[in-house]
Amino acid sequence: MKTYMPNPDKLEKKWYIVDASGLVLGRVASEVAKVLRGKNKPEFTPNVDTGDYVVVINAEKIKVTGKKLDQKIYYRHSDYVGSLKETTLKELLEKHPERAIEFAVKGMLPSGPLGRKMLTKLHVYAGAEHPHAAQKPEVLTF
């Protein structure tokens, strides 16, 4: 018997849309990461990008549980001495609400070139408008 290996060029990629209003950040991110990775398909292979495209709308209306708004901190560093910057989740949601979902999903994908390629299939928008209507995305519910 031969082992079936999916060819990423011949796989059919679907488009899904997720309305994140009123949903919990981590739960949305984990489901989106599964679809981006392709774990919802029978032809899933860990070393091949078999995932689909995901559009997340209403990122500004996402919820978090507990005291994460004030206690969760995102760090960034420019590699210069003393340039460590920190931002709380509350500040991040006020300025760039789509980045909270992007950071959460990025942490759930594999690190390396394959994970970076999967992350390019994620499109997050703060409001309800998105420019991907021509792709006819299906509604993804969980």
Query: Tens digit of pLDDT for each residue in 59-108?
Result: 999 999 999 999 999 999 999 999 999 999 999 999 999 999 999 999 99
55 close to 15: Cβ distance less than 8 angstroms:
yes
pTM for this structure? Answer: 0.93
- Residues 112, 89: Cα–Cα separation, whole Å: 25
Task: Answer whether residue 131 is part of any domain.
Answer: yes
Task: Answer whether residue 58 is part of any domain.
Answer: yes
Give phi and psi for 84, each to the nearest 5: -75, 120
Task: Answer whether residue 103 is part of any domain.
Answer: yes
- Domain coverage including residue 92: 15-139
- Residues 106, 6: Cα–Cα separation, whole Å: 24
**3-state SS class at 49:** coil
Task: Answer whether residue 44 is part of any domain.
Answer: yes
Task: Answer whether residue 8 is part of any domain.
Answer: no
Task: Answer whether residue 51 is part of any domain.
Answer: yes
Angle at 118 between CA 17 and CA 111, to 5 degrees: 135
Task: Answer whether residue 54 is part of any domain.
Answer: yes
For position 56, which CATH number holds? 3.90.1180.10
